[in-house]
Amino acid sequence: MQQKIEELKQKAEQGSQQLQGEVQELELENLLRAKFPFDLIEPVPKGEFGGDALHRVNSQGGTPCGSILWESKRTRNWSDGWLPKLREDQRSAKAEVCVLVSQVLPKGVETFDLVDGVWITSPRVAIPVAIMLRQGLLQISQTRALSEGVQTKTEMVYQYLTGPRFRQRVEAIVEAFSSMQDDLDKERKVIMKQWAKRQEQIERVMGATVGMYGDLQGIAGKSLQEIEGLELQTLGMNEEPA
């Protein structure tokens, strides 16, 4: 009878602990929902993977920014075996972060700490830890979005510079400059031709004028008034090369 009483007592304690654990899970889910109305707090179905709740973090605009796997423990003794099991559950849930909320903490942890890749926290600071982790996921998501935007713009610029559209633009500019250069060369040739023709006409007029002045000087002699410019021209024309 005493053995039977002990067995019934153990079953009662186990049932009480299980009930307390379920109450703590529901309380944690409700606290998360109330604190983060933009996020999605989903209870983990039994048998799917470990953990009690999957916390999907969303920005105010509704953009998914990551997820946190929560597990709650309400036991008298700490077990190091919880950590590798929760890390495995985290990989199965494809969550970025996992958190273990426990009444009893491992040695050396007073309120919360990161132990072997698992965040461990007491229930009284679980929400502050959730705020910290959630903000980290939001910042990482924002940084990733900015980086992707820069990368996208860089790729667009590269594709434009190496694509046919940019080449066609450059070819159009080069053709316009080439056409302008050709027109300028043609104008230069025409002007030079006209300049040479006018130079020749001026020289012919000057030659005829100097010849006429020389004829008149030969007839009138010194009585003909001297014209300085023509005198120099006459002198230059009468000189013979050495």
Interatomic CA distance for residues 120 and 110, integer angstroms? 10
- pLDDT surpassing 60 at residue 107: yes
Range with the lowest mean pLDDT among 18-32, 50-64, 120-134, 168-182? 18-32
What is the number of structural domains in the chain? 2
Let me know whether 109 and 207 are in one domain: no
- Helix ranges (DSSP H) in the chain: 2-35, 82-93, 126-162, 164-220, 228-238
Phi and psi torsions of 44, nearest 5°: -80, 125
Domain that holds residue 219: 169-238
In a domain, 159, yes or no: no
- pLDDT surpassing 70 at residue 160: no
For position 223, what pLDDT does the model report?
A: 65
Let me know whether 230 and 173 are in one domain: yes
Let me know whether 137 and 99 are in one domain: yes
Let me know whether 141 and 178 are in one domain: no
For position 236, what pLDDT does the model report?
A: 46
Let me know whether 211 and 104 are in one domain: no
In a domain, 30, yes or no: yes
Per-residue pLDDT averaged across 166-170, rounded?
68
In a domain, 161, yes or no: no
In a domain, 158, yes or no: no
Let me know whether 26 and 96 are in one domain: yes
Let me know whether 144 and 179 are in one domain: no
46-68 pLDDT, tens digit each: 766 678 899 999 998 889 999 99
Let me know whether 104 and 136 are in one domain: yes
Residue 15 CA to its chain's centroid (Å): 55
66's CB contacts (< 8 A; 6+ apart) are 56, 57, 95, 96, 97, 137, 140, 141
In a domain, 163, yes or no: no
For position 28, what pLDDT does the model report?
A: 87
Let me know whether 31 and 68 are in one domain: yes
Interatomic CA distance for residues 26 and 48, integer angstroms? 18
Banded model confidence at residue 222, pLDDT cuts 50, 70, 90? low
